[in-house]
Amino acid sequence: MSKEIKYIKNYIELERIRHGYQLNCDIQTEGQLDDVKLPPLLFLPFVENCFKHGQLSDGSIWIKMKYERQGDLLIFYLTNEFDPAETEKTKDGIGIANTRRRLELLYGETYELQTYPENNQYHVILKIPLG
């Protein structure tokens, strides 16, 4: 899990260098994550979408991310601001659909994924069983 979080942080820094826009990113962890083993790059499509759909009209991007362990459950929270007018201009991709299919193959019906817009923010809540 620590490698995955480090990879996500490196990806965010690469995007910051590549685009040169103002980026406000808050990544938090809660609970014991050192012994958590997950398939690689499971969270990346959600983070990529923050950059694809989340750039505001002033060029800034705002992302809040949290990895939380509650017993035998890992909960991933992601929220980013977006501009509805700008989002309508971008094409829908297949990243989230592919991730949802990957989760189904890996975890069957034991995982939970919620994605929804609310008040110019996009939210992701992913719950993955660890046991």
**Residues 52-80: pLDDT tens digits?**
888 888 888 999 999 999 999 999 999 99
Query: Rounded to whole angstroms, how far apart are CA atoms 38 and 74?
Result: 10
3-class secondary-structure state, position 64: strand
Assigned CATH topology for domain 2-129: Heat Shock Protein 90 (3.30.565)
Q: Could you tell me if 45 and 17 are in contact, meaning their C-beta atoms sit under 8 angstroms apart?
A: no
Confidence band for 88, pLDDT divided at 50, 70 and 90 = low
Q: Is 0.85 surpassed by the pTM of this model?
A: yes
Q: What is the pLDDT of residue 57?
A: 82
Amino acid at 56: L
Q: Where are the beta strands (DSSP E) in 1-131?
A: 23-30, 61-70, 73-81, 112-118, 121-129
Query: Rounded to whole angstroms, how far apart are CA atoms 93 and 34?
Result: 32
Question: Tokens 């991709």 identify what position?
Answer: 93
Residue 14: pLDDT over 70: yes
